[in-house]
Amino acid sequence: MEIKNANICHDYLNGVIEGQEVITSTKILKDARHFYECDDKKLSDDTVMYEVYMYSQGNSKQRGNLNWGLTVMKPVYVNGECNMTRGHFHEDLDCAEFYFGLGGEGLLLLMDDANHCWAEKVEVGSVHHIDGTIAHRLINTGNEEFKVGACWNTTAGHDYERIEDHPFTVRVYKKEGTIVTEER
Ligand code: F6R
Ligand code: ZN
């Protein structure tokens, strides 16, 4: 019997996802300024906000195949508003997702189709199931890198347009060292 090495390696607590077929992308502030209520011109355009690592094996168009991912969010505040991912619904509302905390601390902001928002606290070891119909966004509320793993169907897709038309109705700030959530 042949014993093969794994295609990828994920050093959960101290590293990232590594392997030849891992796709990485970096979100810089220039492309994220519009997420925030109030821009901060003092922060430069090339400030790194978050990095996404993603691996999918096999045909990504085939239903049932899975992506394995990692999001690493920097501890950046834009006029006091916590660093957040763009956020999205899945295009295929039948496709759920798991998120799991791997470093730092933050929130998983969730929103249903009636624009009702709630959040789950994400910390090392926490596991979060996101129903396919629910919009999701990660928010770094800490002072260190916030690392969150994910597993989801390759056919889920990202519907960013829907979230831009119907934005999350809660914003998260750090004011005088305290996390404050504000409804909009
Ligand atoms: C995939 C997923 C994550 C996010 C990542 C970046 O369905 O939820 O891998 O894509 O956390 O967030 P967005 O895509 O909202 O910029
Ligand atoms: Zn998703």
Q: Which residues crowd ion ligand 2, with CB under 5 Å?
A: 97
Query: What is the percent of the chain where pLDDT is above 90?
Result: 99
Report the run of H or E that residue 160 belongs to, with start and end: helix 160-165
Select from 180, 179, 157, 183 the least CA-distant residue to 169. 183
Q: Report the nearest-CA residue for atom 9 of ligand 1.
A: 69
Ligand at shortest distance from the CA of 66: 1
Distance 91 CA to ligand 2 centre (A): 9
Q: Which atom of ligand 1 is nearest to the CA of 130?
A: 8
Ligand at shortest distance from the CA of 134: 2
CA dist., res. 85 & res. 140, Å (int): 9
For residue 62, the cross-strand partners are none
* Mean pLDDT value of segment 50-54: 98
At residue 61, the pLDDT reads 94
Judge whether 82 and 144 are in contact, CB under 8 Å.
no
Please write the tens of the pLDDT for every residue from 60-89.
999 999 999 999 999 999 999 999 999 999
Q: Which atom of ligand 1 is nearest to the CA of 69?
A: 9
CATH topology of domain 9-183: Jelly Rolls (2.60.120)
Q: Where are the domains of the chain?
A: 9-183
Does 85 contact ligand 1 (Cβ within 6 A)? yes
At residue 164, the pLDDT reads 96
Judge whether 17 and 25 are in contact, CB under 8 Å.
no
Q: Which atom of ligand 1 is nearest to the CA of 138?
A: 11
